Amino acid sequence: MYIPPKYEIRDWNEITSFVAKSRAGEFVTVNSDGAPEASTLPFTWYPGTPNNDGVVADLGRVTTHMARSNNQWREIEDGAPALIIVHGPGAYISPNSYPETVGAGKVVGTWDYQVVHLRGTVEVLHDAESIMGIVSDLQRDHEVDRANPWDITTADQDFMQELIRHVVGFTVKVTSVEAKYKLDQKSSLQDRTAIVSDLMSSDRPSDRVVAEEMKRIFKF
């Protein structure tokens, strides 16, 4: 991923929190004929912990699953490379949102966004116990903030085992993590303030989410 220095995010807590909040991503692999395949999948990332010097030696692993009827898994061999793209909402930024520069006519519209790429190698899982563990962890994570969380252990277990038969699991050993926040870091405070104001007045929920992220990152 192309990341200009101003857009690169290295804070491990920021990266892991962003991924945890997103909770799903694009699972990208390559077929034997070189064609890319992608599926949108919920996943769980078990990231490594920084040492005393802040270095993360073990980037952790990602677990996910897909329907056995999805042919993508049939083209995946153990050890094959995979890319998981995790992104938040994006927003179009109008040239009119740059009061310092629009008058000179030297500004164009752009797209602001946040994205994390997790790269690694895949292991395909077929055994019911492993797949049940993946599904259980996903349900736990997605239910945790609900007022009345559903517990997978309350489901009919024969029914669950039948569902698991139709699922393929994956573990991705993460070998690289890239994080990019393109949030007008190159713009002046005056322009960023105007951008946030413009986005907050938008009818698009995604625009307002980007504005809130800009306010959080730039602390205003």
Residue 53: per-residue pLDDT: 84
How is residue 49 written in tokens? 């912990």
- Cα separation, 210 vs 90, in Å, equals 6
Residue 101: per-residue pLDDT: 67
Is residue 193 scored above 90 in pLDDT? yes
CA distances from 82 to 13, 139, 180 (A): 23, 23, 19
Q: What is the pTM of this model?
A: 0.93
Domain boundaries, the chain: 5-90+112-187
CATH architecture of 5-90+112-187: Roll (2.30)
Q: How confident is the model at residue 79 (pLDDT cuts 50, 70, 90)?
A: very high
